[in-house]
């Protein structure tokens, strides 16, 4: 469909409540980022979800799946490790549904994420920031094992996570594009890559599924290096065609590039993913390259990454961004 006109569909709709409005996010072309005329780069803007991130899809899927099998009982507190977005999404949904929520989060995330969690009524337990999101997972698992009053959805091992993308994100993209040469996602819990990857491979086995992975030891914006010792149980490496390493510096440079060249105000993980999408596009002769923008930049304004030259930024390598 490279030569066909775009079908501009109106955003919005009517929903019974805010949870039902999750999904159906825009797919936007970014022509200034494409290195070749025959390759089109598309961004799925997940910041348009109610709490501003793709994790609204995951949180909704995990809680509704637990409700269907009566796993959440009276007296339970929902417990979840997070570096921010999943916790915020769960906090909104738990507030709406009346469940108490406790999140375990690294102590070096941006302040906006803490404020949003408190705003939605979540209780926060901080883990050691130097351990990144892996430290939050470790502490949350210890808490869940020692106290039966916790119900932990556990996004890293819950098949409802990739299912949210298999049944939601991927079909939305396929409604708009007849063919996808490559899909690029960030390597976090693995849910985005697994759910979209499986659905796209069913549609066309030649679609390349590419992961943006941080350098070992770097706390890149919610992504995780598999070399740091924790592989999420839902992650099946056989679904991936490639993994491409991204540094913190490249992630921030490309976050600024998204803003300055395309007007896209995105979180820093999107910069890492866009860097990889551009690289993959440069290797193709034609086709659509789709990448997922996990969230908008509102939670990262205090970091200064949007207005400060990168050579003047502090704390690039010791902040958990997403």
Catalytic residue among 53, 269, 299, 303: 269
* Residue 146: both structure tokens together: 């020692």
Closest CA to 244 of 269, 271, 215, 217: 215
Distance, in Å, from the CA atom of 259 to the CA atom of 220, rounded to the nearest integer, reads 19
Catalytic residue among 55, 131, 208, 299: 55
On whether the CB atoms of residues 246 and 275 are closer than 8 A, the answer is yes
Q: Is 60 a catalytic residue?
A: no
Q: What are the residue ranges of helices labelled H in 73-164?
A: 85-97, 111-119, 132-146, 160-164
Handedness of CA 283, 289, 291, 297 (dihedral sign): positive
Residues 6+ apart with CB under 8 A from 284: 36, 38, 39, 181, 182
* Residue 180: both structure tokens together: 């996808």
Q: What are the residue ranges of helices labelled H in the chain?
A: 55-68, 85-97, 111-119, 132-146, 160-164, 170-176, 191-203, 248-262, 268-283
On whether the CB atoms of residues 135 and 24 are closer than 8 A, the answer is no
Q: Is 55 a catalytic residue?
A: yes
Active site residues: 55, 269
């Amino acid at each position: 469909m490279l030569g066909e006109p775009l079908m501009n569909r109106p955003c919005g709709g009517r929903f019974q409540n805010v949870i039902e409005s999750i999904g159906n996010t825009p797919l936007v072309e970014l022509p200034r980022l494409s290195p070749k005329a025959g390759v089109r780069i598309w961004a799925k803007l997940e910041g348009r979800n109610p709490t501003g991130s793709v994790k609204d899809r995951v949180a909704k899927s995990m809680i509704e799946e637990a409700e269907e099998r009566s796993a959440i009982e009276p007296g339970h507190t929902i417990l979840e490790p997070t570096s921010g977005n999943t916790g915020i999404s769960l906090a909104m949904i738990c507030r709406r549904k009346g469940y108490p929520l406790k999140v375990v989060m690294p102590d070096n995330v941006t302040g906006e994420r803490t404020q949003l969690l408190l705003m939605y009524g979540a209780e926060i337990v901080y883990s050691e920031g130097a351990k990144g999101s892996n430290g939050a997972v470790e502490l949350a698992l210890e808490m869940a094992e020692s106290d039966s009053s916790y119900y932990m959805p556990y996004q890293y091992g819950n098949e409802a996570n990739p299912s949210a993308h298999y049944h939601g994100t991927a079909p939305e993209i396929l409604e708009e594009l007849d063919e996808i040469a490559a899909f690029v996602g960030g390597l976090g819990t693995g849910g985005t890559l697994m759910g979209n990857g499986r659905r796209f491979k069913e549609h066309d086995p030649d679609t390349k599924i590419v992961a943006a992975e941080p350098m070992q030891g770097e706390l890149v914006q919610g992504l995780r290096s598999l070399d740091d010792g924790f592989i999420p149980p839902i992650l099946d490496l056989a679904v991936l065609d490639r993994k491409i390493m991204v540094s913190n510096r490249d992630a921030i440079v490309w976050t600024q590039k998204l803003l300055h060249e395309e007007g896209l105000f995105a979180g820093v993980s999107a910069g890492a993913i866009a860097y990889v999408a551009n690289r993959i596009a440069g290797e193709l002769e034609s086709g659509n390259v789709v990448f997922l923008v996990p969230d908008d930049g509102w939670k990262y304004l205090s970091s200064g990454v949007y207005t400060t030259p990168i050579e003047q930024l502090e704390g690039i390598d010791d902040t958990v961004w997403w």
